[in-house]
Amino acid sequence: MGIFDFIFGIKKRQIHELLEKDAIILDVRTQREWDNGHIKHAKHIPLDELKDRVGELKKLNKPVITCCASGARSAKAAEYLNLNNIIATNGGGWLSLRRKVTS
């Protein structure tokens, strides 16, 4: 097993553990990106709206797995949510996260 397999294997286990705890998948891409495809049952809040809508996620009282196109915006979203007392992890790009969620 290579280092990347090890690292990504850990991330996949973390994601599955959070999903077992009824985590929400939060897609922070733009509306146009979302309209072109997304993970079934994911919640959509574009990153530029997250500050104004963080209360919606707090009310759900569930952990959050963030995703975007590449993982950069979702990393910012996860960091912001953690600073606001919401358990969140960066799921990375939505296409690779979709594979982790469905496998």
Which domains are delineated in the chain?
A: 12-102 (3.40.250.10)
Prediction pTM value: 0.89
Q: Which of 63, 60, 65 is nearest to 25 (CA)?
A: 65
Residue ranges of the chain whose pLDDT lies below 70? 1-10, 103
pLDDT at residue 16, as a whole number: 86
CA–CA separation, 84 and 98 (whole Å) = 26
Amino acid identity, position 62: K
What's the pLDDT score for residue 74? 96
pLDDT of the residue at 90 = 94
What integer pLDDT is reported at residue 13 of this predicted model?
82
pLDDT at 103: 63
The answer to whether the beta carbons of residues 92 and 99 sit under 8 Å apart is no
